[in-house]
Structure 1
């Protein structure tokens, strides 16, 4: 009896060993808690938030796409896939010179904006897929496009708060465009750089206190303690004034509340797109009461800006390593003496 049980265990172990490679081939590739995909039985399964998609072998890689969000252009440019784009919305917000050039040549069409999309033009372009953030008020438009055989893929990358997870979306685009190796290579390089920079930041002798964002009207919208801005500040070995906060979204405060927390602040980052401290005071005279305004340093995200287009929200999403490098240069300039800021600029 005992020998039979041992034989049964051995048989089960053998079966499980033989099955293991088959199961691993269908394992999901996780981009973040929001997005994952896997290939199984010739079908690519994609889960993005509450939405699920299935693409057969003859549907991918995509040959013609439309972008309804400027931030997604960063992934396209990183993969050199601009020629796949046949339409974009709000082109004035796209920084990519290649996409702007294709727009001028008429190879990419302007399909409207978030106020109103040109549905007829979109349908006439016959894209394989449209990439966009999900906006509930446009559900009827999305359904109309789907009824005309157009895949509408919702990717809410703006909700990702961990910098490297935002970067990791390049792997999904690589899969959908037949550029998996290029995407994986780029991601691994950024990941390697990012982690090396984190270690470099730990060598700093001081850990400065940091304020972020600015006021709109009477309200200061500070990034929550779990937002991407807070992660960058922490990874750059600095102390964010809302470090203990658990929000992944903006936290609203009055000027008085921020003032009470800001006495020790040495750096103020992501302070909008102002051109000077004088102009900031015109917008809000209360800023003059802050120690950091008078004695500290203020940085805006206009290092790569052209009219309404800002590359911080485009290539900066993929190059999270360069964004982190900017923050380290700001907080600990002695660690990167020869580096010039990429996306940030100090206000005078």
Structure 2
């Protein structure tokens, strides 16, 4: 009997050990299908898209980085880590006044634009890492930088369609910048606010019909029914005209096709960065045929804009709660009587 008990104890111990090993080997923190990370005794592992990065403890946190996409600055600014940035491409698209001051003082260098990066300057700055969205046409440039010992990290946050998953990228930046606690706290704040706002939106009596985006030439590029814009509209308790569509990318339609679906539309959002309805008509007279143009309300994304820079594509990438709050204010103004729009602006 004692032998059986001993064998049972040994068996359970082995099973427990195997389970513990299995858990530790798969202990990845999943941000989304496109991004996850894992802490190891030897460092930090990151899976981003098809790329895997293994950073040893002596490699992180980074002290000097370069950004090749303005949208990534939103995460950096949210962590008050602007002092870590030594270079950025297309600085004219950066909205942050703090970052613009650092650029003016020469503490952040201009390293080119989306047409051509200044590889020599990038190498001379000796960054610990470069952050960028992957662009196939720049593969040779990426390889040249890697050949010079520079770590190139690809983050495709712009492909994320769920607002909180996109905001959660801040956790990985926190890991890489030595600001883990700040990142966790910031995300927790955003997540809490977002979920509370969703609940608030559900208390609205009406569920208005919404149109989004605008035409370019003869084509209207509407957000697919599973895109971030469509998800924001849904979370704000409104009905998007393509709510039954399953695309995570833009859906192209002619004006006639949109017109046939827009008879009940009450709000038109993300209508570019136009300054007025008159300006919109001067670009496309067909807009005037839409009922929402004369009877509804139209909102652009020019609430925080400075020349080419638009904060909707910077801090708005991280502050999903602020974006959602804007949409709720638009669709259900009675729920947020004292709130002023941040990123959106009504066209008169």
Alignment of 1:77-226 (within 5 A): 77-226=77-226
Normalising by structure 2, we get a TM-score of: 0.97
Deviation at 1:225, TM superposition (A): 0.3
Going from structure 1 to structure 2, the CA distance change for 1:5 and 1:293 (only over 3 Å counts) comes to: farther
Return the alpha-carbon distance in structure 2 between the equivalents of residues 153 and 260 of structure 1. Answer: 45
- Please name the residue that 1:276 is paired with: 276
Deviation at 1:147, TM superposition (A): 0.4
| Equivalent residue pairs, number | 347
Per-residue Cα deviation, 1:264-318 (whole angstroms, up to 9, x for no partner)? 0000000000000000000000000000001000000010111100000111111
Asked if residue 29 in structure 1 is aligned to residue 61 in structure 2, the reply is no
Return the alpha-carbon distance in structure 2 between the equivalents of residues 94 and 247 of structure 1. Answer: 30
Alignment of 1:187-266 (within 5 A): 187-266=187-266
Deviation at 1:131, TM superposition (A): 0.2
Per-residue Cα deviation, 1:192-242 (whole angstroms, up to 9, x for no partner)? 000000000000000000000000000000000000000000000000000
Return the alpha-carbon distance in structure 1 between the equivalents of residues 297 and 79 of structure 2. Answer: 36
Normalising by structure 1, we get a TM-score of: 0.97
Moved more, 280-289 or 21-30: 21-30
Deviation at 1:5, TM superposition (A): 6.1
- Please name the residue that 1:13 is paired with: 12
Secondary structure of the residue aligned to 2:32 is: coil
Asked if residue 321 in structure 1 is aligned to residue 321 in structure 2, the reply is yes
Deviation at 1:3, TM superposition (A): 7.6
Return the alpha-carbon distance in structure 1 between the equivalents of residues 154 and 86 of structure 2. Answer: 18
Deviation at 1:96, TM superposition (A): 1.0
Deviation at 1:262, TM superposition (A): 0.1
Deviation at 1:17, TM superposition (A): 3.7
Deviation at 1:43, TM superposition (A): 2.6
Going from structure 1 to structure 2, the CA distance change for 1:293 and 1:19 (only over 3 Å counts) comes to: same
Deviation at 1:39, TM superposition (A): 1.8
Deviation at 1:23, TM superposition (A): 5.4
Secondary structure of the residue aligned to 1:230 is: helix
- Please name the residue that 1:62 is paired with: 62
Secondary structure of the residue aligned to 1:341 is: coil
Secondary structure of the residue aligned to 1:31 is: strand
Deviation at 1:4, TM superposition (A): 5.9
Secondary structure of the residue aligned to 1:342 is: coil
Return the alpha-carbon distance in structure 1 between the equivalents of residues 275 and 185 of structure 2. Answer: 37
Return the alpha-carbon distance in structure 2 between the equivalents of residues 21 and 183 of structure 1. Answer: 28
4+ runs deviating over 4 angstroms = 2-7, 18-26
Asked if residue 296 in structure 1 is aligned to residue 296 in structure 2, the reply is yes
Return the alpha-carbon distance in structure 1 between the equivalents of residues 301 and 5 of structure 2. Answer: 67
Q: Specify every segment of 5 or more residues in structure 1 that has no aligned partner in the other structure, as ranges.
A: none
Deviation at 1:97, TM superposition (A): 1.0
Per-residue Cα deviation, 1:34-66 (whole angstroms, up to 9, x for no partner)? 011112231311110011111111100000000
Return the alpha-carbon distance in structure 2 between the equivalents of residues 64 and 314 of structure 1. Answer: 20
Going from structure 1 to structure 2, the CA distance change for 1:7 and 1:254 (only over 3 Å counts) comes to: farther
